[in-house]
Amino acid sequence: MIVKNEEEVLARCLDGVKAFADEIIIADTGSEDSTVAIAEKYTDKIFSFDWCDDFSAARNFSFSKATCDLVMWLDADDVVEDKDAAEICRLKEQMKDYDMAFLEYVIPGTDGRPLMCYCRERIFRRTQNYVWEGAVHEAISPRGRILYSSAKIVHKKIRPSQPMRNLRIYQKIISQGGKLCARDRFYYGRELFYNGMHCESCAVLEDFLAGNGWIENKVEACIMLYSAYLAEGKVQKATSSLLKSFEYGLPKSRVCCLLGERFFSKGDYETSIFWYKTAAALPQNICSGAFIDCDSSAFTPYMQLCVIYDRMGDYKKACYYNNLAGSIRPDNPGYLYNKRYFKEKHQLG
Q: Does 163 score more than 80 pLDDT?
A: no
37-51, 86-100, 150-164: segment of lowest average pLDDT: 150-164
Average pLDDT, integer, range 9-33? 98
Task: Band the pLDDT of 236: cuts 50, 70, 90.
Answer: very high
What's the pTM value of the predicted model, to 2 decimals?
Answer: 0.93
Residue 62 to residue 84: CA distance in whole angstroms: 23
Q: Does 328 score more than 80 pLDDT?
A: yes
Residue 28 to residue 45: CA distance in whole angstroms: 11
Q: Does 349 score more than 90 pLDDT?
A: no
Contact 154, 117 (CB under 8 A): no
Nearest to 191 by CA among 177, 172, 215: 172
Task: Band the pLDDT of 111: cuts 50, 70, 90.
Answer: confident
Nearest to 273 by CA among 288, 285, 259: 259
Beta carbons within 10 angstroms of residue 258's beta carbon: 23
DSSP 141-184: ---SSEEEEEEEEEE--SS---HHHHHHHHHHHHHTT----HHH
Q: Round to the nearest angstrom and report the end-to-end CA distance of the chain.
A: 50
- Share of residues in the chain with pLDDT > 90 (%): 96
- How far is CA 86 from each of CA 20, 119, 124, 258, rounded to the nearest angstrom? 8, 19, 18, 39
- Share of residues in the chain with pLDDT > 70 (%): 100
Contact 3, 27 (CB under 8 A): yes
More confidently predicted of 109 and 173: 173
Task: Band the pLDDT of 305: cuts 50, 70, 90.
Answer: very high
Q: What is the pLDDT of residues 329-346, one digit of tens each?
A: 999 999 999 999 999 999
**How confident is the model at residue 112, as a pLDDT?**
87
**How confident is the model at residue 79, as a pLDDT?**
98
Q: At what angle do helices 198-210 and 182-194 cross, to 10 degrees?
A: 160
Q: Does 291 score more than 80 pLDDT?
A: yes
Q: What is the pLDDT of residues 113-122, one digit of tens each?
A: 999 999 999 9
**How confident is the model at residue 76, as a pLDDT?**
98
Residue 261 to residue 256: CA distance in whole angstroms: 9
Dihedral (CA of 211, 212, 213, 217) sign: positive
Residue 115 to residue 294: CA distance in whole angstroms: 5
Average pLDDT, integer, range 41-52? 98
Q: How does the average pLDDT of the chain come out, rounded?
A: 96
Average pLDDT, integer, range 140-147? 98
Average pLDDT, integer, range 236-260? 96
Task: Band the pLDDT of 155: cuts 50, 70, 90.
Answer: very high
**How confident is the model at residue 348, as a pLDDT?**
92
Q: Which helix (H) or strand (E) holds 104?
A: strand 100-108
46: helix, strand or coil: strand
**How confident is the model at residue 159, as a pLDDT?**
86
Q: Does 287 score more than 80 pLDDT?
A: yes
75: helix, strand or coil: coil
Q: What is the pLDDT of residues 55-64, one digit of tens each?
A: 999 999 999 9
